[in-house]
Structure 1
Amino acid sequence: MDMHLVIITEDMAGERLDKAIAGLEPEWSRVRVQDWISSSRVFVNGKVKKESYRVKVGEKIEIDVPEVEDLDILPENIPLTICYEDEDLLVVNKPRGMVVHPAPGHASGTLVNALLHHCKNDLSGIGGVARPGIVHRIDKDTSGLLMVAKNDLAHHSLVEQLKEHSITRLYLAIVHGVIQHERGLIDAPIGRDPKERKRMAVEHRNGKHAVTHFSVIERFPKATYVECKLETGRTHQIRVHMKSIGHPLIGDPLYGPVKNKYGFEGQALHAEVLGFTHPRTGERIECKTEAPEAFADLMEKLRIEKT
């Protein structure tokens, strides 16, 4: 049993109970939440309510989330591009389109399935049965570098470095519109979008501190190629921040234009550089990988586009 407590805020008020809860966590589908409500696992001020109940400001919602049954995650011989590896950890270059860990609808073909085959039993257990070795994630359609811990010592150290913002994370992105200045800094808090709670947004009332630095690499007639450096690591941070200054990522299904005129599937975002302190030796490790071929193809289209 995992009991969650939520106090209804103004941005949630008036929503159906099932929708309000489903918007709290990406893994909580509305169907799953409705099952919890019908099973009397959700309480509003201590009482069971119907899924259609409209929540009110200040109400206390208790959610008794049932324990997830152990997934039968099988090792799969999926090729991995490994940029660094030793007895404590590895850094992999995840391709676009690969899900990081198993979840409903993605029971196989994930990075975790590939890691179980490559590492055998040498993965930290802190992430739980569904996420062995996983220290941090990038979205399915974001390519690039990820750290994976082989033991708990490495896992704890890398997580602490993430919390301390001492890990170097540089991303390449292609955004809509021409950015006129050479570099910039976006310091804007990020939280759940009050209008669509499966998305994130710049939220000055309830958001968490978030800072992104960016610099221009190349300009096209109607787009810009940029490098982004994360000072913090909020969910969808680069995607939200670039949209907030009027330059959403090309291909982004959540934050970009409805019409995807370039035919680029998923956001044009690549985790290019990952630098960290080795948990055991104290050595500074830095890995770098080129953007996928799809980026080059997209840029060729952008170069010949008319203004």
Structure 2
Amino acid sequence: MRKYCPPIEPFLSIVYEDSSLLVLNKPSGLLSVPGRDLAHKDSLTSRVQQSYSEALTVHRLDMDTSGLVVMARSPEVHRKLSRLFQNREVDKTYLARVWGVPAADSGEVDLPLICDWPNRPRQKVDFEVGKPSFTRWEKISSSKESSLLRLLPVTGRSHQLRVHMQAIGHPILGDPFYANSEALAAAPRLLLHAGALSFNHPETQERLHFTSELPDSFSA
């Protein structure tokens, strides 16, 4: 178990706010919600609630993943936003630097996932009892040993993108759970970033689109 050392700067990065919702930029290394252990109380949610006590968690990113997170500012908006995510009406785009160079310029991964219970929180591919999990990917650029991919998850299973990339032979660099030793050592953090979100505003129905700049650590 790694020691939890969440980044302090920036303490809170707000991309957008109105009377209904907040869009935050979560840094890698910060939990989305507090853990049970006292040492894991610091999180994006607890930081937000210091200034916006009414804020409610709608969805999460893994601790090691950076990027965009939406929070609701009322129970009613929380219900509406949660419904958008459940009905796959939120377009999510991730960027990942992976080990190696995929032969194709794009592809799809359709592999069912389930918790690897003895090794939780790890997930695994299981064709008998796994839940349907589908990811589209596109190659943006490649260097000698790695590639920058655009990942478009259709479903939203835990660790989906991380397991799917490992399953096709291109684990995400810096992944402490799924990368091989070379891919793990190739980056100081998990190089997975929630770079864009699009959805209809739960109250006005206006189409909203948010982006988050790719961190410098993703450079080849």
Fold shared per TM-score above 0.5: yes
Contact 1:135 1:149 in 2 (8 A): yes
Contact 1:77 1:114 in 2 (8 A): no
Q: Give the Å deviation of 1:108.
A: 4.0
Computing the radius of gyration from Cα coordinates, the structure with the larger value is: 1
CA distance in 2, matches of 1:291, 1:194: 33
Equivalent residue for 1:118?
Answer: 51
Q: Give the Å deviation of 1:203.
A: 1.2
1:247 maps onto 2:177 in alignment: no
Q: Give the Å deviation of 1:279.
A: 1.0
Alignment partner of 1:275 out of 176, 198, 209: 198
Q: Give the Å deviation of 1:137.
A: 0.6
Alignment partner of 1:257 out of 165, 180, 186: 180
Equivalent residue for 1:69?
Answer: none
Which amino acid is 1:170 matched to? T
Which amino acid is 2:147 matched to? T
Q: Give the Å deviation of 1:168.
A: 0.6
CA distance in 1, matches of 2:10, 2:168: 39
Q: Give the Å deviation of 1:113.
A: 2.3
CA distance in 1, matches of 2:201, 2:164: 30
Q: Report matched runs for 1:53-202 at 5 Å.
A: 79-103=11-35, 104-119=37-52, 121-123=53-55, 133-193=56-116, 196-202=119-125
How many matched pairs?
A: 211
Give ranges in structure 1 of 5+ residues lacking alignment. Answer: 1-75, 124-132, 300-307
Equivalent residue for 1:216?
Answer: 139
1:233 maps onto 2:166 in alignment: no
Return closer, same or farther for 1:108/1:271 CA change in 2, 3 Å cut-off.
Answer: same
Moved over 4 A (4+): none
SS at match of 1:270: strand
Q: Give the Å deviation of 1:266.
A: 3.2
Identity of aligned residues (%): 35
Q: Deviations over 1:153-183 (max 9, x none)?
A: 1111111111111101100000111112111
Question: What is the TM-score of this pair, normalised by structure 1?
Answer: 0.65
Which amino acid is 1:190 matched to? L
Higher RCO (CA-CA < 8 Å; seq separation 6+): 2
Q: Give the Å deviation of 1:110.
A: 1.6
Q: Deviations over 1:104-151 (max 9, x none)?
A: 1544432122111221x332xxxxxxxxx1111101111000000110
Contact 1:153 1:279 in 2 (8 A): no
State the Cα RMSD in Å: 1.9
Q: Give the Å deviation of 1:202.
A: 1.4
